[in-house]
């Protein structure tokens, strides 16, 4: 009985009536929910978009390094002019993207009778020799067959994150460097020579 009396007293107060009506009013709940969820959904969409493009560029870097090594190992002799054409090969593989800061290095590696690898020749797209002839080079253990010849292709490019927190993240975190290297064995003869390398 006392509770019923207390309820009757409180129901007559204007503030309590307003609070009760406010609690029962559900207009605008959808708008508030949308305002809370929309930024999260937008961030997920942008992140998935960036990841898709990044993975596509990464696959093209891998394919470019593999293709360059494959093309060189099909020859018994190459020249710097032939190797310079590998930039066109890379650009064709990257289509519809344009590789930024593309760097290509191709190295001929001789493994002696003991399976020790040394650089026979090397070439970079800027025309330099990135590795000194006769210097040692790291080759995967399963590729160290005695008295063989390998070609190593290295490809590197940068990828700029376009929409992921622009202006908030520093540029060093928005630019990714993607690089791959491939080792292929020669297919013709016992070695591959390079004119001008």
Q: What is the pLDDT of residue 3?
A: 63
Q: What is the pLDDT of residue 68?
A: 97
Distance of alpha carbon 86 from alpha carbon 178, whole angstroms: 18
Is the separation of the CB atoms in 67 and 89 below 8 Å?
A: yes
Q: What is the pLDDT of residue 12?
A: 58
Q: How confident is the model at residue 169 (pLDDT cuts 50, 70, 90)?
A: low
Distance of alpha carbon 74 from alpha carbon 92, whole angstroms: 19
The tokens for 129 are: 């020799």
DSSP secondary structure, 20-84, as one string: HHHHH--TTHHHHHHHHHHHHHHHHHHHHHHHHHHHHHHHHHHHHHHHHHHHHHT-SEEEHHHHH
Q: For 15-71, what is each residue's pLDDT tens digit? A: 666 777 777 767 777 888 888 999 888 888 888 888 899 899 999 999 999 999 999
Q: How confident is the model at residue 127 (pLDDT cuts 50, 70, 90)?
A: confident
Distance of alpha carbon 96 from alpha carbon 139, whole angstroms: 33
Tell me what percent of the residues of the chain surpass a pLDDT of 90.
57
Tell me what percent of the residues of the chain surpass a pLDDT of 70.
84
Please list, in sequence order, all residues whose beta carbon lies within 8 angstroms of the beta carbon of residue 63, skipping any fewer than 6 positions away: 93
Distance of alpha carbon 142 from alpha carbon 158, whole angstroms: 30
Q: How confident is the model at residue 192 (pLDDT cuts 50, 70, 90)?
A: very high
Please determine, for residue 10, whether its predicted confidence score (pLDDT) is greater than 70. no
pTM of the model: 0.76
Domain residues of the chain, as ranges? 25-190
How many CB atoms lie under 10 A from the CB of residue 128?
10
Q: What is the pLDDT of residue 4?
A: 63
């Amino acid at each position: 009985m006392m509770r019923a009396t207390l309820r009757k007293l409180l129901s007559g107060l204007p503030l309590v009536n307003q609070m009760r009506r406010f609690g029962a009013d559900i207009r605008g709940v959808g708008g508030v929910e949308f305002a809370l969820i929309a930024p999260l959904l937008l961030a997920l969409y942008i992140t998935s978009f960036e990841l898709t493009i990044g993975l596509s560029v990464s696959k093209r870097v891998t394919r470019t390094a593999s293709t360059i090594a494959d093309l060189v190992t099909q020859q018994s002799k190459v020249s710097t002019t032939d190797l310079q054409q590998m930039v066109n090969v890379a650009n064709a593989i990257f289509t519809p993207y344009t590789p930024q800061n593309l760097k290509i290095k191709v190295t001929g590696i001789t493994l002696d009778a003991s399976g020790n690898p040394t650089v026979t020749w090397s070439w970079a797209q800027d025309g330099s020799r990135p590795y000194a002839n006769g210097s040692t080079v790291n080759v995967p253990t399963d590729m160290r067959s005695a008295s063989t010849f390998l070609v190593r292709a290295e490809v590197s490019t940068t990828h700029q994150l376009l929409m992921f927190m622009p202006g908030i993240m520093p540029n060093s975190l928005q630019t990714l460097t993607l690089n791959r290297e491939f080792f292929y064995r020669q297919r013709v003869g016992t070695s591959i020579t390079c004119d001008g390398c």
